[in-house]
Amino acid sequence: MALAHFKRIADATDLPLILFQYPLATGQGYLKDTLLQLCEEVPSIRAIKDWIANVPHHEWHIRIMQNLARPVNVLTTHSSWLLSSLVLGPNGLLSGSGSVIADLQAQLFRAVQGNDLAQAKLLNDRIEPLARCFYADPFVDMHNRMKEALVLLGKLPRAVVRPPLVKLERAEIARIRQALVDAGLLDKNAARDAA
């Protein structure tokens, strides 16, 4: 089924494809053999967005997929443990929190690529409060939290929430504001004035 699905998409477009690899426990991830078959038989698959949520499996993706005869890039989306993931060597990242902190994530990627562990750790210290905030339970609210962060940063006029999700409560928005302050992205006094 997966092979037929991706072949049909590949036949309909000349655009490169990125396959989203979910955790296997969700029932939506691809087993290793299936993933290899997909990449072999659908040459327009150029990358996987890797959210396998399993460190050894993630490392396997990086070691195997990026070293195939026709390499397939691994783009991590393990944003709640991004430094650890980047150290394993993916060729890039696709991250929801990149809508808020793309610059910090790009700097972190470059620091890891340059083997500058000290700089990578400093950047990770700035990213960590936001990762902890965005990816807290309930996990389903992660994008709502990111939208509220963008409002607080003046990059969105309002945070639109679609049912069945609901608008975040004021206490949670205050936690997001504090995480932005802790990350050095929002001035503490401006944050207090906005409250």
pLDDT in the model for residue 188: 87
Whether the CB-CB separation of 61 and 21 falls below 8 Å is answered with yes
| Per-residue model confidence as pLDDT tens digits over 101-145 | 999 999 999 999 999 999 999 999 999 999 999 999 999 999 999
Range of the domain at 41: 1-94
Place of tokens 């699905």: 5
- Which H/E stretch holds residue 148? helix 142-152
| DSSP structure string for 14-46 | -S-EEEEE--GGGT-SPPHHHHHHHHHH-TTEE
Whether residue 79 lies inside any domain: the answer is yes
Cα–Cα distance between 155 and 122 in angstroms, integer? 25
**β partners of residue 164:** none
- The strand pair at 73-76 and 45-50 is best described as parallel
Whether residue 2 lies inside any domain: the answer is yes
Instruction: Name the DSSP class of 138.
Output: S
Whether residue 118 lies inside any domain: the answer is no
How many domains does the chain fold into? Answer: 1
In this prediction, residues 142-160 reach a mean pLDDT of: 97
pTM metric for this prediction: 0.92
| Per-residue model confidence as pLDDT tens digits over 19-49 | 999 999 999 999 999 999 999 999 999 999 9
pLDDT in the model for residue 189: 82
Cα–Cα distance between 51 and 177 in angstroms, integer? 27
Number of residues assigned to the chain: 195
Whether the CB-CB separation of 97 and 131 falls below 8 Å is answered with yes
One-letter amino acid at 91 equals N
Whether residue 136 lies inside any domain: the answer is no
Whether residue 50 lies inside any domain: the answer is yes
Cα–Cα distance between 38 and 70 in angstroms, integer? 12
pLDDT in the model for residue 190: 67
Whether residue 193 lies inside any domain: the answer is no
- The strand pair at 45-50 and 17-21 is best described as parallel
Whether residue 171 lies inside any domain: the answer is no
Whether residue 80 lies inside any domain: the answer is yes
